[in-house]
Amino acid sequence: MNEIVCPNCGEDENLKGDSKESGNAKKVTVICETCEIKWERDLTPKCSSCSSEDLRAAVRSIVDKSRGTQLSIQSLSVVYLCPNCDSEELTVWNQSNTPLPPHELPYDIE
């Protein structure tokens, strides 16, 4: 996922978004609370590798340990896959139509 930073001062934490202020469902007005600049951010998903907007929605599972070492799906997350850059995952999604596995599994810190 792309990190959002203020184009004026580079701030990445003290940002506030308001979709009602923009008046457009596909954009959100972002306000930097550090330098007080406002800008509109397009919410159209884009591939982080090739910037293509031709993405396909899929679902990825989020797992956690429920009992001892047993992993269980805790929730699902919508992800957008690029036919060019994510072709392997997109093929798996299209063939199975079940949630994609998580990128990382939980582990015990010792």
Alpha-carbon 31 to chain mean position:
20
pLDDT digits (tens, 9 = 90+) for 49-82: 998 999 999 999 988 887 777 888 889 999 999 9
Q: Which tokens hold the place of 49?
A: 């590798």
| H or E element that contains 95 | helix 87-96
Q: What is the pLDDT of residue 61?
A: 92
- Indicate if the pLDDT at residue 1 is higher than 50: no
pLDDT digits (tens, 9 = 90+) for 29-54: 899 999 999 988 888 888 989 989 99
d(CA 110, CA 6): 38
The neighbouring-strand residues paired with 61 are 76
d(CA 15, CA 25): 19
Domains of the chain by residue range: 1-44, 45-110
d(CA 40, CA 32): 11
